[in-house]
Structures are given as C-alpha cells and as structure tokens.
Amino acid sequence: MEGKTIFAPVGEASVTRAIVGEFLGEFLDYVESDVIVVGAGPSGLMAAMDMANSGLKVVVIESNNYLGGGFWAGGYLMNKVTFRAPSEEILEELGIPYKEIEPGHFVSDSPHACSRLIAAACDAGAKIINTTRVEDLVVRDDAVRGVVMNWSAVSYMPKAIGCVDPVAMESRVVIDATGHHSSIVGYLEKRGILTMPGEANMWVERSEDGVVEKTGFVYPGLLVAGMAVATVYGLPRMGPTFGGMLLSGRKAAKTAIESLELMKSPKA
Ligand code: 48F
C-alpha cells in the first residue's frame, strides 16, 4: 500500500457515544423478545440461527465473554470436533469443511466450525448479549415468561460489595441451552417445581439420539436443548461429538416456532 493511512477524524467522546448509544438502543428493543436463548454453545446458537431465519425476534444471553461454549475446544484440549451422520448435512449447510474418518463419522477443526456457526447465527439476525449471566426466571401463571439477569462480573465481586440487583427481560419462550449444568431448569428445581436426575455415564451411541428425541418443552414457556436435555432426563453424556447438539438446537427452534404459531392462532 502506498502513502500514509489517514483515518477519519473521530474522537474519544464520539467513540463512547457510539458504543453506549447503540448498545442501549438495542438492549431496550430486546427487553421484550419472542425467544430468549440462554447459552451460546452449539445447541443455543443453532436454535437461535433457525429461529431468527424464520423471522422471530431472538436474543441469546451468554455468561462468558466468548461465544461457542464447548464447541471451541473439541475434546481433551485438542481442537477437533466429531460428528456422526446425518449431522454432516448441517456442516454442508454452514460451509464447515470436514473429513470422513470412517463411514458416517466426520471430523472438523473446532475454531472453523464454531466461528462459522457464530457468524451464521449473527447473520440470521439473532442478537447476542455476552458477559451476562441468567440467574433466575420470570414465571407468570405457571408459565416461564422471561429471565432475570446480571453482568457476569457481579458474581465475581466480593460478597461485601456484590449486592447488585439484577434486571429482567420478557419473552414468550425461553430455551435452556446452558450445557451439562442445565442451570435454567435448575431454577425451577430449586423451588420444587420439577426434579432433574442428572446426566448418566458416557455412551455416545445412545446419548445423541436420546438428546434429540427428548429436546422440547419441560414446562410451559421453557424449552431445553443440547446437553441440558441429558441432565434433565438422566440420559448418558456424549463427549466431544456435536451432531446431537446441532440437531437438538434445530429441533428446539422448530418446537418454539410451532408453539408461537399456535399462540397466534385464535383456536389455541
Ligand atoms: O456447554 P455448551 O457448549 O452447551 P451445549 O450447547 O453443548 C455441549 C457441548 O459443548 C459438549 C458436549 C456435547 O458435545 O458434551 O459439552 O449443550 O454451552 C453452554 C453455554 O451456556 C453458558 C455457558 O457459558 C456456555 O457458553 N451458560 C451456562 N449457564 C449460563 C450460561 C447462565 N446461567 N447464563 C448465561 N449463560
């Protein structure tokens, strides 16, 4: 490149106004959404992508700074992720390169797979709020109608100064995609509304099929997707194979879309 690069004359105050103004404008808009997805792992991102593609107003709340959950690191801190047929269809759809290791068994680079999924969810129009932890649910007339949330940093503050009240966002459906802990369903368990057996020992061949099969509503207004399904129903864990996560997210999205359509129908 020839010559000196001269950037536009934009000062500190303008940068601050751009960040705070844009963030707050969007935050206020998303205080009421169609669906809140809690957890930006593979199942939550997949669900968010499909729902946003179908025109729903979707916000994803993630406690970490980074998105992707367990999809970034693969297994055993080795950044490869595996998929079993028929989930390679989603790899094709998202343009994720993969290699067939044996018939019906595929492997990809996790940073490539994860970044493609994050970009696809954002491109579809899902709004992401990261560094924010969901710490409780809004429940009205025996149905989940939103989440209670706070900056993740608040939970790391010493108790003496960590007394910061949360805020809430409302939605018609909430999806618990928080992974192995299933922390959102856990807020109902804490109040004796339901019980979770916890996930069983690893058994790849059973867990993926079971997780996809059981993905669905666990309580009015509350869907469960991904590894949280195994915890809620006592299914085996599956290790670093991710087709079940992607297809569970897709099923959660389909179930949410259908239930919101039913709510619109006068006969429902
Ligand atoms: O754990 P995670 O990747 O969940 P998943 O979509 O996928 C599981 C796989 O990664 C893997 C596996 C199967 O292949 O065994 O573990 O079911 O992503 C869950 C995300 O939820 C966030 C957490 O930081 C992670 O990014 N999360 C958990 N609790 C909260 C939360 C919370 N209370 N508020 C906001 N985010």
> Would 99 be classed as within a structural domain?
yes
For residue 242, tell me if it sits in a domain. Answer: yes
Residue nearest to atom 1 of ligand 1 (CA): 179
pLDDT > 70? residue 266: no
Within-domain flag for 8: no
Structural domain count, the chain: 1
CA–CA separation, 91 vs 110, rounded Å?
A: 12
Which CATH number fits the domain that encloses residue 94? 3.50.50.60
Q: How far is the CA of 187 from the centre of ligand 1 (A)?
A: 16
Ligand 1 touching residue 84 (CB < 6 A): no
Q: Is residue 29 part of a domain?
A: no
64 alpha carbon to ligand 1 midpoint, in Å?
10
pLDDT at 268 over 90: no
Type of residue at 147? V
Q: Calculate mean pLDDT across residues 113-125.
A: 98
44 CB near ligand 1 (under 6 Å)? yes
What does the pLDDT read at residue 263? 83
pLDDT of residue 198: 97
User: Is any atom of ligand 1 closer than 6 Å to the C-beta of 179?
Assistant: yes
98 in any annotated domain: yes
Q: Is residue 51 part of a domain?
A: yes
* Entry pTM: 0.97
pLDDT digits (tens, 9 = 90+) for 225-244: 999 999 999 999 998 899 99
Question: Which domain, by its residues, includes 177?
Answer: 35-264
pLDDT band at 267 (very low <50, low <70, confident <90, very high): low
